[in-house]
Amino acid sequence: MTDPAAWSDGQRLALEQLQALAAGHGGLEVLRVTYGRASRQLEILMSIPLDGREPGPGIHLRQRETFLLIVRDDFPFAPPIVQVRHRRWAGTPHVQWGYQLCLYAAPSTEWAPSDGMRGLVDRLLLWLERAAADTLDANGVPLHPPVAYTSGASGSLVVRADLGDRVPWRSPSTNGPALLVALCTQDSRNGERLDVINWMDASEYRKRVSAGGPPKGPNGRHLVAAAAVVLTGDIGFEYPHHGGDLLSGLEQQGLPREELLALMAGVAYGNVLVAKQRGVPTPPEGEEWPHGPGAVPQMVIVGTPSREVVPGERVAHLVAWRIDLLTGKLTGRLGKLMTTSRKRHDNRDRLNQLGLDWLDTDPVRWARVFEDRPETTRRRDAESSATWLGGQRVLVLGCGALGAPVAEAVVRAGASDVTVIDHGVITPGILVRQPYMDRDIGRPKALVLAERLRLINPDCYPGCRVTGGSQDAVGYVSRLPAEGDDRFDLIIDATADAAVRSALERRRATTSGTWPALLTVLVGHRARRGVIAVSRPGASGGGDDVLRRLGIAARGSHAAQLPDVATDLYPRSARTDVFLPEPGCSAPTFTGSHVESTALAAALLSAGLDALAGRLPGAPCLPMAAGAIRLEPTDDDAHGTTGTTWIGWPEDCVQATVDGAFQVRVSQIALGTIRAEVRRGARLRGPDIETGGMLLGQIDEAAGVVYIDDATPPTPDSLCSAVHFRHGIEGSQDLVEHYARTTGKITSFVGMWHTHPDGPARPSRTDETGMANLVTPALGGPPRCLMLIVGGHDPAWTGWRDGADRTPPPQLYLRVVHRADSSGPPPQQPALPPGKYFRVRESIEPHGVPWWRRWLGGSR
Amino acid sequence: MATVAWWEPMTTDRVGLALSGGGFRATAFGLGCLRALHDTGVLSKVTVVSGISGGSLLAALWAYGPSTFQEFDGQVVELLGRGLQLELTTRTLSPVRVARRGVDLIAAARPDGRVRPSRNRTDVLAALLTDCTFGDKYLPDVTYAGLSTVLSATDLITSRAVRFGSDLSSLSTYGRIVEPIRVAEAVAASAAFPLAFPAVQRTYTFERGGQTQQQRLALTDGGVYDNLGLSVLEPGRNPRFSDHVYPLDYIVACDAGRQERGASRARVLPFRLMRSFDITYRKTQDGTRARLHAARSTGQIRGFVHAYLGMRDRRLPMPAPGLVPMEQVNQYGTNFKKMSRENLDAITSRGEQLTRLLLQHYCPALLG
């Protein structure tokens, strides 16, 4: 035994622990301890009694077995290596190189450092028990793939295309191995890497090559090839080290070596043909192609039935045998001969034999295989709402602290087409939190971002097309086609720019087609919280609309849940502490670090995708929703609000004004109030009597939208009849002020509504003459007002009035009326047309009661 | 982190309606509330109506009444205009009843106790309600499919609430009542205000976990237990411990119960007792309201409206032009006397106005 002073603490601990075990009654014996000074490894030879165990179908266990434990100096933070000093168990699953036992499939979760050597011995005994019973691979558990010891120096192969039904065990007609060709792209920077993007039957490939036209990829892309054989069974648990062993193993599986050589030769020749087509210079005589024939690393992909992802559906496990450069050259020559000359048999046979000899003596090198086949791999985001983005075409407006991380996430999630728009350039200040580099300073953000995003999966097929546009987002939005946009499935507005939102809203309001989904993201002025506005495809309102609603909710109906959002994003008066990072007229922005802005960007996108995927808690698929996302509150957060708050809204009733100048969006709440008043009027005053009230909302001339948020009942001094409705003034000013106050002035008086029960929804002659009064009942109202007439003939009218479901009124008449002069006194009220008038205040008793019965009192 | 969501609106909003006790005053105020709910389309979303005393009467008149609102409205107006007090007195003093009552009392005096069903004034009320409105209807016979009713009375023996309902009737101490129960009987029991009516003596068969037992109850006004009728609608009730559990999104409470009495020295015992009763009452009701507001802010329920007849007008959350002022109706008594047209109009109008306004302000999504 060498001097323990040289050992690490862990190695001393290992021996102590093992000796403690040996002192017990288990019969464990420590036979010999050696220390390799150069390797810094402690080797402990120990034996364990195994008598009394039932023999099983697996490995044979003797009465006592000896094991060599190799304890590295990082013990107990890594498990010791366990080896046997015999070859009796070679070829058994989970015995590598014939003597090393694979006790832990995933040491990071299975090895408990605190259990130390006791844990190791327990694990070893369990392993032996299972190996003896041949149950190391339980049913349904994926088989341990055959081991091939790979090396990065032997090139790499990324397998992206599924083998599908090309594997021989899926087709009942074929016996023996399937001969295939893997069609690959070759990495432009690393020529030693091939990406398999498709598979082809070998015979088909040979036919194409003979015809001088090797197969091409999408858009005429040149593809190189690699030979592939898929066997019906394992070669053995380990792939051999020498070409001869491998060839005989393949032969045992029904693949004659001549056939393999022919396949390799054909592929090599095909690659040389492709090299000419793609303009790779042919090396002068006497010099070699780089990598392999046709400047392509020559590989033979060997597939075996192995992994089970879907139970009962076994898919192929692939390894890639890297052919030596010289052998490759030989097969290249052979290929040319085989495909071009049918006469020179002798020559061919001689070369053939030479090739086989080479292969026989070659040491087998294995290239690294990186699996990306959908049939064997699972996307790490499979359970996430980000799958909604798969194959989608996405427009990201803004490439700043929110837009850049959002765009990156969209590309990584598998979108098929991503366009990023920003007219800004990279400045030193933004490097604090935006994902750009010092070398990019002065360059357009959108172009730099697009360049970087293209690198995420350039060779992935089908890949993601990334386009960068260094242009003004407002201009870009304004140029979107007017008949609806089918170029995008999702628009993400990450500009935090009111002008962009307004331009988008105008585009939506004036577009005839259905709009794609729209996500609008914003963060608060200190990046402690953000909001996301979600408009599903075809929703009546865009980001501007949804954020308006959120403002009304934060100031009014949901003030208790959104106090922080109200003060942060909907301040009552304009913020005075605007943050201007650079001198001069730089754009005001929020303060906050990379951590906060990136966390919020990710959380906002995640919430938006949850909403689009219909995965919000208890959520119906409402067309419009807004979520407030918060970072954990800090000591200066007065409200202490935490978590996420969602609010959703149903579709508005959307109709253009008669002159088409505005799109009017009447909220369900306003329609509900109008219908309640119509019902009430019918109950009290009879079904023919008109009623009306005020409309509250906003006329947005920039977006070309009139928002109707709410409606009011008639004032008590209003006069109703079957021919005319005249709105009174009592209490109306108070109501208007109430709405302005409780919504932070988002909502105010915008016009008047009245009904034409069982009549056409258009202005009567009296309405026309008294238009100014109809829209502004003696209020110093705005210069433009909306006149809304609700009408429709029976049975539609009565059906709507008494219906329980949310249906719009049968007819709406909408007109924006301009007041000629808003400064003077209100115009003269026209005379009331003749008819029986009810004053709203007095009509609280059911109509139709004769005066004498009322006077007498009692029942009707 | 908690996620709280308000989806405006859910297609399947479930509204619970509580109609408080308070004699005809509550019936009239509740009628106004129902008118507002009808106009706004909320009434068709009511999945459970809970009534106490005068509210029970209204709840039953609606839930077991005519299928059109206009007819129901007319029936309630007619009943309020006619009153029940006079008829009650006439029937109570009828010779046949007096004779039977005498037999009952003699039976009750025997050592083995009262074995005959009681025929006191509350039974007379039940008979009267049977004759003039509910007929032979039993509790499951609701007019609207999917509507549950809960008419609550208080059992003086166990001091627990007895919940009569369309789905089931039960008393938490004993379990579910097996016998079918007439609507009129449940309403009368719920309305038997202890100072005006005697307790009704009833023996029911109770079932719990397959075991049945007979128990005698002394039923009095449900308002003794909870005058708002809200306790049965509160969120978070566990079906393991309560028979009546109704999942709800919104709760609308119409409250025309005990009015605020002005300052009083309460020198004599009855007034002191009355005063103490008032204070206890108010505090429990405040507690219930606070719990419901908390349930709203945590998202357990989506909205809560409490239309209170005695609400101070200047505390309303939004301007209410043409509102019937509180002072005009607050002093109206809590009895079953016939109601004058003016009082009826004023009380129902206030109920309607308050409900409309509070719905609009607190539950706008429910109106959309």
Comparing alpha-carbon positions, the chain B residue that sits nearest to A674 is B40
The 10s digit of each residue's pLDDT in B51-65 is 998 899 999 999 999
Residue B307: per-residue pLDDT = 93
CA-based nearest distance A649→chain B, Å:
5
Is the Cα dihedral B66, B69, B71, B75 positive or negative?
positive
**Cα A487 to Cα A237: distance, rounded to the nearest angstrom:** 52
**Residues A716-739, mean pLDDT to the nearest whole number:** 89
SS3 A655: strand
Inter-chain touch A860–B78, beta carbons under 8 Å: yes
**Cα A626 to Cα A550: distance, rounded to the nearest angstrom:** 7
The 10s digit of each residue's pLDDT in B269-287 is 777 887 887 788 788 888 8
Residue B113: per-residue pLDDT = 55
Partners of A617 on chain B (C-beta within 8 Å) are 3, 5
* Tokens (6 digits) for B95: 């010779």
Write the CATH number of the domain with boundaries A4-132. Answer: 3.10.110.10
Specify whether B221 is catalytic.
Answer: yes
Using a CB–CB cutoff of 8 Å, tell me whether B44 touches chain A. Answer: yes
Inter-chain touch B39–A667, beta carbons under 8 Å: no
Using a CB–CB cutoff of 8 Å, tell me whether B78 touches chain A. Answer: yes
User: Which of A643, A667, A844 is opposite residue B1, by nearest beta carbon?
Assistant: A643
Q: Are the C-beta atoms of residues A695 and A747 closer than 8 Å to each other?
A: no
The pLDDT confidence band at residue A773, using thresholds 50, 70 and 90, is low
Partners of B11 on chain A (C-beta within 8 Å) are 620
A-facing residues of B in 299-358 (CB < 8 A) are 318-322, 340-341, 345, 349, 356
Using a CB–CB cutoff of 8 Å, tell me whether B146 touches chain A. Answer: no
Comparing alpha-carbon positions, the chain A residue that sits nearest to B4 is A645
ipTM over 0.85? The verdict is: yes
Residue B189: per-residue pLDDT = 87
The pLDDT confidence band at residue A188, using thresholds 50, 70 and 90, is confident
Residue A844: per-residue pLDDT = 47
Inter-chain touch A676–B44, beta carbons under 8 Å: no
Residue A387: per-residue pLDDT = 93
Inter-chain touch A673–B360, beta carbons under 8 Å: yes
Give the CATH fold of the A653-857 domain: Cytidine Deaminase; domain 2 (3.40.140)
* Tokens (6 digits) for A27: 């019969």
Ramachandran angles phi, psi of A396, nearest 5°: -110, 115
**Residues A120-146, mean pLDDT to the nearest whole number:** 75
**Residues B118-146, mean pLDDT to the nearest whole number:** 82
Q: pTM of this prediction? A: 0.83
Residue A376: per-residue pLDDT = 83
Specify whether B166 is catalytic.
Answer: no
Q: Are the C-beta atoms of residues A422 and A477 closer than 8 Å to each other?
A: no
Inter-chain touch B367–A676, beta carbons under 8 Å: yes
Of the candidates B354, B329, B351, the residue with the CA atom closest to the CA atom of residue B340: B329
* Mean predicted lDDT score pLDDT of chain A: 85
Size of interface A-B (CB pairs under 8 A): 132
A-facing residues of B in 288-307 (CB < 8 A) are 297
Using a CB–CB cutoff of 8 Å, tell me whether A844 touches chain B. Answer: yes
Partners of A667 on chain B (C-beta within 8 Å) are 368
Residue A144: per-residue pLDDT = 52
**Cα A628 to Cα A644: distance, rounded to the nearest angstrom:** 6
Residue A310 has pLDDT above 70, yes or no: no
Inter-chain touch A672–B367, beta carbons under 8 Å: yes
Q: Are the C-beta atoms of residues B88 and B121 closer than 8 Å to each other?
A: yes
Domain parsing of chain A, residue ranges: 4-132, 152-371, 386-649, 653-857
**Residues A206-235, mean pLDDT to the nearest whole number:** 87
The 10s digit of each residue's pLDDT in A257-289 is 888 888 988 999 999 999 988 888 888 877 888
Inter-chain touch B356–A676, beta carbons under 8 Å: yes
Is domain A386-649 in CATH 3.30.565.10, yes or no? no
Q: How many helices (H) and strands (E) does chain B have?
A: 11, 11
A555 vs A346, A479, A551, A564, A626, CA distance in Å? 93, 35, 6, 10, 14
**Residues A480-508, mean pLDDT to the nearest whole number:** 87
The 10s digit of each residue's pLDDT in A496-533 is 999 999 999 998 888 777 889 999 999 998 899 999 99
State the pairing for strand pair A784-791/A748-756: parallel
Kindly state the percentage of chain A with pLDDT values over 70.
Answer: 87
Residue A628: per-residue pLDDT = 95
**Cα A319 to Cα A230: distance, rounded to the nearest angstrom:** 10
Residue A853: per-residue pLDDT = 46
Partners of B340 on chain A (C-beta within 8 Å) are 857
The 10s digit of each residue's pLDDT in B176-200 is 999 999 998 898 888 887 667 778 8
Inter-chain touch B40–A734, beta carbons under 8 Å: no
Residue A599: per-residue pLDDT = 96
Extended strands (E) in chain B: 3-7, 15-19, 46-52, 148-155, 160-165, 170-171, 175-177, 200-208, 211-221, 250-255, 303-308
Using a CB–CB cutoff of 8 Å, tell me whether B9 touches chain A. Answer: yes
Partners of A673 on chain B (C-beta within 8 Å) are 360, 367
Inter-chain touch B360–A642, beta carbons under 8 Å: no
User: Which of B78, B321, B367 is opposite residue A715, by nearest beta carbon?
Assistant: B321
DSSP B354: H
The 10s digit of each residue's pLDDT in A523-582 is 998 899 999 999 998 888 999 999 999 999 998 878 888 999 998 898 877 777 777 777
Alpha helices in A656-752 (DSSP H): 668-685, 732-742
Using a CB–CB cutoff of 8 Å, tell me whether B82 touches chain A. Answer: yes
Query: Rg for chain B (alpha carbons), in Å?
Result: 20
CA-based nearest distance A741→chain B, Å:
10
Give the CATH fold of the B15-84+135-366 domain: Cytosolic phospholipase A2 catalytic domain (3.40.1090)
Using a CB–CB cutoff of 8 Å, tell me whether A599 touches chain B. Answer: no
User: Which of B5, B349, B362 is opposite residue A619, by nearest beta carbon?
Assistant: B5
In DSSP terms, A306 is beta-bridged to none
Residue A138 has pLDDT above 90, yes or no: no
Domain parsing of chain B, residue ranges: 15-84+135-366
